[in-house]
């Protein structure tokens, strides 16, 4: 994935597929690094921003751009 003016651009190298995520400044590439807990992307955000981020992440999982796994 990489940062673009509109938000994030996700690549699926198996596809090849691209997914443009109009996330603005809600999400950064670093939020998806293994060392970062998903909660860090939500810290200090308003309830509406958290809901939007959670929706974006659910969409990325549903489309196969992110794989869901336990943090434990």
Per-residue pLDDT tens over the stretch 19-37: 888 888 887 787 777 666 5
Residue 19 is assigned to a structural domain of this protein = yes
pLDDT at position 41 is 67
pLDDT at position 64 is 82
Domains in the chain, number: 1
Question: With a threshold of 0.75, does the pTM exceed it?
Answer: no
If pLDDT is split at 50, 70 and 90, which confidence band does 18 have?
confident
C-alpha to C-alpha distance for 34 and 57, rounded to whole angstroms: 15
Domain that holds residue 26: 2-62
Residue 33 is assigned to a structural domain of this protein = yes
Tell me the per-residue pLDDT of 26-70, one tens digit each, with 9 for 90 and over: 877 877 776 665 566 677 888 998 888 888 888 888 888 887 776
Residue 69 is assigned to a structural domain of this protein = no
- 11, 1 Cβ separation under 8 angstroms: yes
Residue 14 is assigned to a structural domain of this protein = yes
Residue 53 is assigned to a structural domain of this protein = yes
Residue 71 is assigned to a structural domain of this protein = no
């Amino acid at each position: 994935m990489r940062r673009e003016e509109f938000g994030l651009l996700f690549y699926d190298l198996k596809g090849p597929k691209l997914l443009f995520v109009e996330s603005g400044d809600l999400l950064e590439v670093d939020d998806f690094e293994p060392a970062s807990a998903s909660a860090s992307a939500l810290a200090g955000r308003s309830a509406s921003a958290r809901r939007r981020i959670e929706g974006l992440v659910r969409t990325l999982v549903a489309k196969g751009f992110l794989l869901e796994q336990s943090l434990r």
